[in-house]
A and B are shown apart, each in its own frame.
Chain A
Amino acid sequence: GDSVTQTEGPVTLSEGTSLTVNCSYETKQYPTLFWYVQYPGEGPQLLFKVPKANEKGSNRGFEATYNKEATSFHLQKASVQESDSAVYYCALGGGSNAKLTFGKGTKLSVKS
């Protein structure tokens, strides 16, 4: 079946430093790849998604490139803010399958 593996947390950074959260996936389909973000006390919300290989998605300064050859979708941000503190989930879905498969989540804490 499908699987997603991402950076184990927690990750603690200082404001202004760069972030990379690694995400690797396994699937036999042609998936859409997603990054979701979950703030405390809320449900996960879509950060962005990329339906096609070799394309990049971005939102709020975060970006990730769908690398089909490496089966990776790493999340990056050049300069994190305290407000970016949250849990980040990588997920895959699409094809004929209605469901999404999520990674275990990476908790990010940003200190000022």
Chain B
Amino acid sequence: GGIITQTPKFLIGQEGQKLTLKCQQNFNHDTMYWYRQDSGKGLRLIYYSITENDLQKGDLSEGYDASREKKSSFSLTVTSAQKNEMAVFLCASSYRGLGNTLYFGEGSRLIVV
């Protein structure tokens, strides 16, 4: 088995600040994802990375940057935090292939003051 570790669990920042969330996985998966979870809106894909040095935009990429530093880690940056962005951010990973199963971390909650 493996685990996905997201840090920090709670990220508190001010409006307009640049804030970064980090994700590490030890599954040796090639693909990693960042989803945003808002109550009543489900899971929306922000960015994903099929392999190291790859970056693909999801449906909600505006206002975010991502970086796949190495196979095991994937970071997400909120470029200018806004109060309406308070949500839970979920990192996931999978083997690439047909019917790939995603494994999720526990989430990081963003709080903007």
Chain A residues with CB under 8 Å of chain B are 32, 34, 41-46, 49, 51, 89, 93-95, 98-105
**B15-39 to A contact mask, C-beta < 8 Å, 1/0:** 0000000000000000101010000
B98 at the interface (CB under 8 A from A): yes
A-side contacts of B94, CB under 8 Å: 98
Chain B residues with CB under 8 Å of chain A are 4, 31, 33, 35, 40-45, 48, 50, 56, 58, 90, 92, 94, 96, 98-107
A-side contacts of B50, CB under 8 Å: 98
A46 to B103, CA, bound (A): 8
> Are the C-beta atoms of A94 and B99 separated by less than 8 Å?
yes
- Supposing A43-B105, A104-B42 touch, asked if A99 and B33 sit within 8 A by C-beta, the answer is yes
B-side contacts of A105, CB under 8 Å: 42-43
> Are the C-beta atoms of A102 and B104 separated by less than 8 Å?
no
Beyond the given A45-B103, A105-B42, could you list 14 further A-B residue pairs with CB under 8 A, ordered by the A residue number?
A43-B106, A44-B43, A46-B103, A51-B98, A51-B99, A89-B42, A93-B100, A95-B98, A98-B48, A98-B50, A100-B100, A100-B102, A102-B43, A104-B42
